[in-house]
């Protein structure tokens, strides 16, 4: 696959991830009560964790925006973004499989998106530059 097609794929993955991170970040930060799972009591702990997750998601969106500016010159940032997606996806998979009392479809969709974006970044990114480029 040519590097330009891979870059377009990476742009799509990072752009979609940036959109989702902004959506989740704003929702968790500004509307933590709305993001509380159905049937759960909204507690101070849930509010704190929700707002912290919102801040983390917005930070991730900023990182994705920076990486999008020049993808090939930011391999460390792209790798950090990919690893963040993978770790978060695996932790959420564990939590919603073994820990959570209730899990809704939106949780499974989020987990799937995180893991798909993680794999897509690892597969699409040209980790080795073509010969002749410095």
What single DSSP character describes residue 34?
T
pLDDT for residue 1: 59
Q: What is the DSSP string of 11-76?
A: HHHHHHHHHHHHHHHHHHHH-TTTTSPTT----HHHHHHHHHHHHHHHHHHHHHHHHHH-GGG-HH
Per-residue pLDDT tens digits for 78-95: 999 999 999 999 999 999
Write down the domain spans for the chain: 3-124
pLDDT for residue 130: 55
Provide the mean pLDDT of the chain. Answer: 89
Which pLDDT band holds residue 36 (cuts at 50, 70, 90)?
A: confident
Question: Above 80 in pLDDT, residue 57?
Answer: yes
Question: Above 90 in pLDDT, residue 131?
Answer: no
């Amino acid at each position: 696959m040519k590097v330009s097609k891979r870059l377009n794929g990476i742009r799509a993955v990072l752009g979609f991830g940036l959109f989702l991170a902004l959506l989740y970040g704003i929702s968790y930060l500004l509307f933590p009560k709305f993001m509380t799972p159905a049937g759960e009591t909204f507690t101070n702990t849930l509010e704190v964790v929700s707002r912290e997750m919102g801040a983390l998601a917005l930070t991730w969106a900023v990182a994705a925006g920076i990486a999008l500016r020049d993808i090939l010159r930011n391999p460390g940032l792209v790798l950090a973004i990919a690893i963040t997606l993978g770790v978060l996806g695996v932790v959420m998979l564990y939590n919603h499989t073994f820990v959570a009392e209730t899990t809704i479809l939106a949780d499974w969709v989020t987990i799937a998106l995180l893991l798909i974006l993680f794999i897509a970044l690892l597969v699409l990114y040209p980790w080795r530059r073509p010969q002749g480029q410095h």
